[in-house]
Structure 1
């Protein structure tokens, strides 16, 4: 479920120097917001995108792969451009 995913994301944050810096010194990273120990990129339109830590696995699969696969399924195979736009609006990774 989602709570498991959230825990995996938070664990992944602990291994990423940029995200650690954002959590420890949020005022130095004005493009990011920390809420409930989750890090979000603040977009130009005010929307927030959840930051996904790199090299983080859930049940042996990369979170990024899982998110791309889920978005693709969710959007009923609307193609790369629409899937990519959906992900860009909702999640962020470097």
Structure 2
């Protein structure tokens, strides 16, 4: 199993709108792709950055499912984020493998 983690630092003024959009639209759309078996949304409590830092974690069963997501779904979903919150956030993505 793999954990796909997206860390986003969003400016304070946009944080509430972003959080609502994530919970109501974006995460359900990602899960509707069928490539992930679960998800989790976390807020970083002790972030040294300005703005609000969140981690969105998605669990996938295989590298095949992850690759399919990246090829078929991620570009449009990420573009939607970029359109709605342009210049209001920075993000980075990490793929991790479960050890046990």
Q: What range is the shorter-chain TM-score in?
A: 0.3 to 0.5
Instruction: Identify, as 1 or 2, the structure richer in strand.
Output: 2
Q: Judging by fraction of residues, say which structure has more helix.
A: 1
Normalised by the length of structure 2, the TM-score is 0.31
Q: Which has the higher contact order (CA 8 A, sep 6+)?
A: 2
